[in-house]
Amino acid sequence: MNITLIEALDNIHTASLQSKLSDELWTECEEEFALLRSHTGLNNKQLVVLACLCEAGDGLSWRGLGRELGLSRLKTMSLSPDIEDMKQRRWIVPYAVNEKGCSYEGFKQAPGIITAFRDNKEFVPEKLDGMSEQAFIDRLSRYLAQECADHKIPQSANNWWLLYFIECNPNLPISIKAAELDDDMSKVILLRLIGDYAIYGGERTEGMRSVDIDNCFEDGWELTTCLKALKEESHELFTQDLIEHACVEGIADMELFRLTRNAKETLLSQFVRVKTPPLRRQKPSSGRDMLPADSIKQKCNR
């Protein structure tokens, strides 16, 4: 059979719709499966999952995948070992899929697969585990500057990727500290502030404002409680001396948060920051929600 990789994947997707992963599917697309197995190392079930994800484009939840294949919920969950293996090998990444206004656990094909297959080239998955501190922060800041800037991708999906990234590198000081935090929201804020420092450290625009944090999460009681605790400095990121209110010309901006010196020294001791051109930023607050630095419990220590 003289077909390209992308054509083989498309044939598999078409045949797999409502197939219930029947024996007829394996027989009908035998040559397509053989071609793609030789180029990817994935098994037949994994290739079906990959085909569905590439066609969907914006990720699929477990329920969405089951609907595509005509499978019951329990039968869909039987694919868990294959999907976990694909995650470990970086063919797919965790992804929060929005369905009817709610986010559900799901997954998405790794970036670059469709381009590689379209050009009839083998795809080499990105290695995300076993990184040094420098490589981890460089990749983190690159993700925040590029992927998170794509407003077509929901922030909930970006947050899933950030949490997955630290799981891939459990031995770094950043990951160890993140594991000690009480909830995922705290971990995401810490990671975003670390990435922000890597990009904007030392500039007036360094840090995240309350509105930036607000835009990273879905509205709800948890977010409201978090923002209140951040402003009052009772949040665990404050009590563990990881973040502080930014100090702008001797004035503490109660709406702007940055990493503390302690966080930089303990979590980023091996990181060497390379100055990059600014990519964004609003101007600092003009005065509202600002107090003299010595009037708040947490002094700016820069």
- pLDDT tens across 133-152, in order? 999 999 999 988 886 666 66
Tokens of 17: 């719709």
Q: Does the pLDDT value for residue 287 go beyond 90?
A: no
pLDDT band of residue 218 (cuts 50, 70, 90) is confident
Average confidence (pLDDT) over 232-256: 90
**C-alpha–C-alpha distance, residues 278 and 116, integer Å:** 31
Comparison of pLDDT for 291 and 148, the residue scoring more: 148
Report pLDDT for 228.
94
Average confidence (pLDDT) over 102-114: 86
Report pLDDT for 253.
86
Q: Give pTM, 2 decimals.
A: 0.73
The residue type at 50: L
Report pLDDT for 278.
47
pLDDT digit string, tens, across residues 3-37 = 999 999 999 999 999 999 999 999 999 999 999 99
Spell out the residues 6+ positions from residue 141 whose beta carbon is closer than 8 angstroms to its own.
195, 198, 199
Q: Does the pLDDT value for residue 181 go beyond 90?
A: yes
Closest among 214, 147, 205, 144 to 185, alpha carbons compared? 214
pLDDT digit string, tens, across residues 195-205 = 999 999 878 78
Spell out the residues 6+ positions from residue 70 whose beta carbon is closer than 8 angstroms to its own.
17, 18, 19, 20
CATH of 5-118, picked from 1.10.10.10, 1.10.150.120, 2.40.128.280, 1.20.210.10, is 1.10.10.10
Average confidence (pLDDT) over 84-94: 90
Average confidence (pLDDT) over 208-236: 92
Q: Residues of 152-185 as b/e, b for ≥16 C-beta within 10 angstroms?
A: ebbbbbbbbbbeebbebbeebebbebbeebeeeb
**C-alpha–C-alpha distance, residues 282 and 279, integer Å:** 11
Report pLDDT for 238.
96
Give the number of other CB atoms < 10 A from CB of residue 254. 19
Residue 255: burial class (beta carbons within 10 Å; 0-12, 13-18, 19+): buried
CA atoms within 13 A on the CB side of 254: 17
Give the number of other CB atoms < 10 A from CB of residue 5. 22
pLDDT band of residue 301 (cuts 50, 70, 90) is very low
Report pLDDT for 23.
94
**C-alpha–C-alpha distance, residues 17 and 37, integer Å:** 20
Q: For all residues of the chain together, what is the average pLDDT?
A: 86
Report pLDDT for 300.
45
Q: Does the pLDDT value for residue 275 go beyond 90?
A: no
Q: Does the pLDDT value for residue 283 go beyond 60?
A: no
Tokens of 5: 């990789």
Closest among 88, 142, 90 to 111, alpha carbons compared? 90
pLDDT digit string, tens, across residues 143-176 = 888 866 666 667 777 888 899 899 999 999 999 9
How far is CA 101 from each of CA 96, 156, 181, 193, rounded to the nearest angstrom?
12, 12, 28, 27
Average confidence (pLDDT) over 57-69: 91
Domain boundaries, the chain: 5-118, 133-295
> Is there a contact between 214 and 208 (Cβ–Cβ < 8 Å)?
no
Ranges 72-76, 170-174, 279-283: which has the least confidence: 279-283
Spell out the residues 6+ positions from residue 292 whose beta carbon is closer than 8 angstroms to its own.
250, 251, 252
Q: Does the pLDDT value for residue 235 go beyond 60?
A: yes
DSSP H/E element including 15: helix 5-16
How far is CA 178 from each of CA 92, 123, 196, 211, 267, rounded to the nearest angstrom?
23, 32, 16, 23, 10
Ranges 147-161, 220-234, 252-266: which has the least confidence: 147-161
